[in-house]
Amino acid sequence: MLSQPFKRACALGIIISCALVGNTHATEKWPQKSVSFIVPSAAGGSPDVLSRLIMNDLAQSLDASFIVENRPGAAGNIGILQVKKARPDGYTLGYGNINTLAVNNSLFNSLPYDVDKDLRPVAHLFNIYNVLVVSAESPITSVKDLIQAAKSDPGQLSYGAAGVGTTGHMGGELFKHMTDIDVLYVPYNSGPAALQDLVGGRLDFMFSNSSEVAPLIASGRLRALGVSSKKRLDLLPDVPSLDEAGVTGYETIAWGGMVAPKQTPDSVIDTLNQAVNNTLKKPKVIEGLAALGAEPAGGSAADFQQFIQVETDKWAEIIASAGIEKLD
């Protein structure tokens, strides 16, 4: 028969062993298996291509597979909802951008996720800028010309974009707000469809992604009036910023970043953030981003969180002042 002291010693040993096993599991190095990166848009678009560029390098630096999964729909809300519902273990991450993390908060009556309560910002990945363009056949040759034309004929000029809440739409509303002009917004199902109408003279102007319009500008089908960044873009060095062209303080960024489920451990967030910042400093990544009209961002997770809040407040004000009807 076992003595009571021996039984107590065995019990204590079991408890200590369990504690050690639990501690080993808690401090297990991450990652130990493949990581899913959810992109809430279709394959082939800028978010998808740029995300794959960065994930490929992260896979090498962290010695793990990063699998990009496209989950388009509902202005990105479907994909972000999947991130929210995922286990917070670092093996499901997501791409969040100006729409899903900032604009949608004020654009929809309700969202299936709360950015502050359900997600953790990991890192600001990149910035993409828009270009204010008109048809090459348009008599408008400058930002000043466009403003004068709009004020001379209120409500008659039109611009288009691929859907309500996109950066092309929001950039146009910000332009209206800052220049006090009255122009008509025409929503399209896709950016290429809107650009086709712009080239054909059925729209007067657009704010469109720099990588999408650069070939049309180079071929002489579109004329660039200004870029939405505070400084000129390397992709279009001869095109002034809107700030430089007289719309002081204008800036629209089609930014993107990495987010994780809310309870993801700090150790994983820190590891990811450091790895992302290292990746964004590599020449091959910088060159790959530049080829698509994007610039590396970076910074701490806290920096990204603060940036999201600033953008959320900015676009909430624009949506309210423009009287944009909320979506269901």
- Per-residue pLDDT at 163: 84
3-state secondary structure of 311: helix
Reduced to 3 states (helix: H, G, I; strand: E, B; else coil), residue 12 is: helix
User: What is the rounded CA–CA span in Å between residue 283 and residue 233?
Assistant: 18
Count of beta carbons in the 10 Å neighbourhood of residue 69: 14
Residue found by looking up tokens 């048809």 in the block = 135
Which residue, among 123, 122, 120, 99, has the nearest Cα to 111 in the 3D structure?
A: 99
**DSSP assignment, residue 324?**
P
| Bridge partners (DSSP) listed for residue 132 | 207, 226
pLDDT, position 19: 41
Q: How far apart are CA 99 and CA 101, in angstroms?
A: 6
Burial of 232 (0-12, 13-18, 19+ CB in 10 A): middle
Q: Is the peptide bond before 240 cis (omega within 30 degrees of 0)?
A: no
3-state secondary structure of 97: strand
Task: Give residue 170's pLDDT.
Answer: 95
Q: What is the pTM of this model?
A: 0.85
pLDDT tens, per residue, the chain with 328 residues: 445 544 454 444 444 444 444 443 444 789 999 999 999 988 888 889 999 999 999 999 999 999 999 999 888 999 999 999 999 999 999 999 999 999 999 999 999 999 999 999 999 999 999 999 999 999 999 999 999 999 999 999 999 998 889 999 999 999 999 999 999 999 998 888 999 999 999 999 999 999 889 999 999 999 999 999 999 998 899 999 999 999 999 999 999 999 999 999 999 999 999 999 999 999 999 999 998 889 999 999 999 999 999 999 999 999 999 899 898 8
**pLDDT for res 189:** 86
pLDDT value of position 3: 52
Cα–Cα distance for residue pair 105/117, rounded to 1 Å? 13
- Enumerate domains of the chain plus CATH numbers: 35-127+253-322 (3.40.190.150), 130-227 (3.40.190.10)
CA distance 301 to 298: 9
Q: 274-303 burial, b for 16+ CB within 10 Å, e for fewer? A: ebbbebbeeeebbebbeebbbbbbbbbbee
DSSP string, 228-293: SSSS-BTTBTTSPBTTTTT-TT---B--EEEEEETT--HHHHHHHHHHHHHHTTSHHHHHHHHHTT
pLDDT of residue 42: 85
Cβ partners under 8 Å of residue 77, min gap 6: 40, 100, 104, 108, 111, 112, 113
Q: What is the pLDDT of residue 4?
A: 54
